[in-house]
A and B are shown apart, each in its own frame.
Chain A
Amino acid sequence: MADEQKSFPLPSSVKVMPGTEAAQAAFPYYTQFTPEDDTRFWFYNSMHFPEPMHHFDMITAEAAYCALGSFNTRVHVLPTTKGIDHRIINGRVFIGGVPVTDPAEIEARTAEFQQRAFYYYENWEQLYDQWKEKMKALIADAQALPTPSLPDLEPIETTHTGKGVAANHALIDTYRQQLEGYFRMWHHHFEFLLLGYGAYLTFFDFCKRAFPEISDQAISRMVAGMEAEIFKPDEEVKRLARRAVELGVDSHFHDDMEIEQVLGALDQLGENGREWLKELDTSRNPWFNVNVGDGFYHYHRSWNDDLSMPFAALPGYIDKVRKGENIERPMDQLVQEREQLVSDYRELLDSDEDRATYDQLIGLAHRVFPYVEGHKFYCEHWYTNLFFNKIREFGALLRDHGFWDAEEDVFHLTHYELESAIVDLMLAWSSGSDPIGPKRWPAIVAERKKAIETWAQETVPPALGAVPDVIDDPAIVMLWGITRENLDAWLSDGEENEHELKGFAACSGVVEGTARVVKSVKEISRLQQGDILVCQVTNPTWAPIFQKISAAVSDIGGSMSHMAIVAREYGLPAVVGTGSATQKIRDGQRIRVDGGRGVVTLLQDEVVLEDA
Chain B
Amino acid sequence: MSFVSWFKDVGIADRPTVGGKGGSLGELTQAGIAVPPGFVVTTAAFEQFLKALEAREPVRAKVKELDPADLGAVTTLSEQLRARVLEEKMPAEVEQAITEAYRTLSPNGEPVAVRSSATTEDAEDASFAGLQDTFLWVLSAEDMVHRVRECWGSLYSTESMTYRLKHAFPEEGVAMGVVVQQMVDARCAGVMFTRSPTTGDKSVITVEGAWGLGSAVVSGEVTPDKWVIGKITGEISSREISDKHARQVPAEGGGIREVENEADRRKAPCLSDEELMALREVGRRVERHYGKPQDIEWAVDGDGSILLLQSRPETVWSARDAAAPVKKPEGNALNHVMTIFGGRK
Contact = CB atoms under 8 A, between A and B. Distances in A.
Contact of A354 (B325, B338, B339): B325
B237 A110 contact: no
Interface in A79-129: 79-80, 106, 110, 113, 117-118, 121-122
Given A106-B343, A341-B233, A596-B236, A360 B326 contact: no
A528 B331 CA distance: 55
Contacts of B200: 212
Nearest to B238: A597
Q: Which of B200, B237, B332: most chain A Cβ within 10 A?
A: B237
Given A201-B340, A353-B328, A508-B235, A215 B230 contact: yes
B237 A508 contact: yes
Given A351-B325, A356-B329, A211 B343 contact: no
A541 to B, nearest CB: 26
Contact of B339 (A205, A505, A510): A205
Interface string A195-213: 1001101100110011111
B203 A213 contact: yes
Tell me the interface secondary structure of chain B in the complex: loop
A302 B273 CA distance: 39
Given A201-B340, A210-B326, A364 B232 contact: no
A211 B201 contact: yes
A80 B235 contact: no
Contacts of B203: 211, 213-214, 218, 345, 348
Interface residues of B, number: 38
A357 B321 contact: no
A341 B239 contact: no
A287 to B, nearest CB: 31
Q: Which of B235, B273, B321, B328: most chain A Cβ within 10 A?
A: B235
Interface in B221-255: 228, 230-233, 235-239
A213 B232 contact: no
Contact of A206 (B202, B235, B326): B326
B56 interface: no
Given A202-B337, A363-B333, A508 B236 contact: yes
A201 B334 CA distance: 13
A212 B230 contact: no
A78 interface: yes
B232 A218 contact: yes
Contacts of B332: 118
B291 to A, nearest CB: 11
Tell me the interface secondary structure of chain A in the complex: helix
Nearest to A122: B334
Given A113-B341, A121-B334, A596-B238, A221 B233 contact: yes
A606 interface: no
A79 B238 contact: no
A596 B196 CA distance: 17
A548 B204 CA distance: 31
Contacts of A214: 201, 203-204, 230
B199 interface: yes
Interface in A182-230: 195, 198-199, 201-202, 205-206, 209-215, 217-218, 221
Contacts of A360: 329-330, 333, 336
B167 interface: no
A470 interface: yes
A353 B323 CA distance: 10
Contact of B201 (A213, A353, A356, A597): A213
A363 B329 CA distance: 13
Interface of A: 78-80, 106, 110, 113, 117-118, 121-122, 195, 198-199, 201-202, 205-206, 209-215, 217-218, 221, 341, 344-345, 348-351, 353-354, 356-357, 360-361, 363-364, 470, 472, 474, 478, 505, 508-510, 594, 596-597
The 7 closest A-B pairs by CB, nearest first: A360-B333, A508-B235, A356-B329, A211-B203, A80-B343, A212-B199, A353-B325
Given A217-B233, A348-B231, 18 more contacts: A80-B341, A110-B342, A117-B337, A117-B341, A202-B337, A211-B202, A212-B201, A213-B203, A215-B235, A218-B203, A351-B325, A353-B329, A361-B336, A364-B334, A364-B336, A472-B343, A474-B341, A505-B237
